[in-house]
Amino acid sequence: MPFYEFKENDLIYNRIKAKPQVKFSIYNSQIYYKNLDQSMVNSNTPSGHINLHEINVNRSSGLAYAYLPKGSDQSSFRTVSSTDYSKSTLGDEIIFTYPLTSSIQREYHATGSSRPRLDALRNVLDFYTPNSDYYSYDNGPDNGDKSHQQVNLISIPSIFYGSSIDKGSIVLDFYVTGTLIGRLQDVNKNGELIQTLPTGSEGTGSVAGVALYNEGFLLLTGSWDLSNGAHTIDYGNGVVASSWLYYAAGANDGVTAIDDDGSTSYGLTSRMSASYDIQFNGINYVPTVTMLAHAPAGELNNSDNYTFVQSGSYSSLTGSEAHYLENHKIPIKNIVSSSYNGYNEDFERQTYISKIGVYDDNKNLIAIAKLATPVKKTSKRDLTFKLKLDF
């Protein structure tokens, strides 16, 4: 088997920028990711969640779990409190239960309430103020002060979007009884979430919040009545007018589903009448290397494949303690195709290339590229194969 070294121009390093579509639908405190209820596939994955490394697929009991024997090195899991750790004795199992899942989370902050997670974003928000004044933590337009005002914070874990959220791709839809009462989009691609629909209604054209594309947060502060006084709804904090502050209510924020809290308030005033869609594109970078493998004319015209020689040709080898002699006149099978029935074409050196091996510097086989169909290689033919490896 011949080896050829890739030259400088044969290797092209590149990066694919993929933009996977993501959609969450939220209805009555239930989240659906990509229009699916994940618990239908795996009972250990709540709907709207991604299972990070699930080995308890569809088990109801007897779940696998991780543990550490308590030793003198103070190692523990972050989920174990220092009190529980201290109570255990040496050799005890410190348990970390599975499954590990991830999903979006909404946090509603009332006026003047404590907001440590929002406070932690202060520097990040202020960093983006050159893009828009609406990012400002405590000095935004219209007396915006995120340290004190009502804020609806939606956190999106990076496992859903990759490196960042694609700028301008966010679409937030707010429905009541199936009617769209508001849509937010970043039409200027500067992070401002501007209400674009319904046309002509209150708030359309106004900035209702900002998006942190690299960090995966949506901060909504738009407090105008999206229903123009048509209705009020209990979003878990009392009966209020629908606004962006209550968008995505029920998304892992402690707001219970109507069936669960015993409420009988069905109908327009019930939060069952509201539903939400969150759509955006992620950005995921896939490094790739493209390799050009050349099969020069006059080379690669021999094969070690048994079918390369005429049937029975290997029988004529001799050997003893002193020597091993293979027949050096093994006839090569002529596989040149003829256009005529019953006629054999003149012999030509010809092989079929079916796969290409990629080796490292130490001749370790690290990858194999297989062709969909073998490619005929004659001595007069130059061939170049384009191999692409994704990481």
Shortest separation between residue 204's beta carbon and other proteins, angstroms? 40
**Residue 99 preceded by cis peptide, ω within 30:** yes
Q: Is 20 in the site for other proteins (CB under 8 A)?
A: no
Select 71 or 331, whichever has its Cβ closest to other proteins: 71
> Backbone phi, then psi, for 158, in 5-degree steps?
-70, -15
| Span interacting with other proteins, options 62-70, 171-179, 310-318, 346-354, rule CB under 8 A | 62-70
Amino acid making up residue 115? R
Q: Which of 217, 197, 195, 274 is nearest to 241 (CA)?
A: 274
| Span interacting with other proteins, options 61-69, 169-177, 287-295, 329-337, rule CB under 8 A | 61-69
> Backbone phi, then psi, for 246, in 5-degree steps?
-110, 10
Shortest separation between residue 33's beta carbon and other proteins, angstroms? 14
Shortest separation between residue 255's beta carbon and other proteins, angstroms? 29
Number of residues that bind other proteins (CB under 8 A): 18
CA distance 174 to 285: 31
Select 70 or 271, whichever has its Cβ closest to other proteins: 70
Shortest separation between residue 323's beta carbon and other proteins, angstroms? 23
Shortest separation between residue 212's beta carbon and other proteins, angstroms? 18
For residue 95, the cross-strand partners are 67
Q: What count of Cα atoms within 13 Å lies in the side-chain half-sphere of residue 299?
A: 10
Binding mask 27-46 toward other proteins (x if CB under 8 A, else -) reads --------------xx----
Cα distances from 321 to residues 90, 314, 318, 324, 327, in angstroms, run 67, 19, 11, 8, 17
| Span interacting with other proteins, options 19-27, 69-77, 259-267, 341-349, rule CB under 8 A | 69-77
DSSP alpha helices (H): ranges in the chain?
82-87, 116-120, 122-127
The pair of structure tokens assigned to 349 is 């050196």
Question: From the list 59, 148, 294, 376, which residue makes contact with other proteins (rule: CB under 8 A)?
Answer: 59
Q: Which residues bind other proteins (CB under 8 A)?
A: 41-42, 51, 54-55, 57-59, 62-69, 73, 75
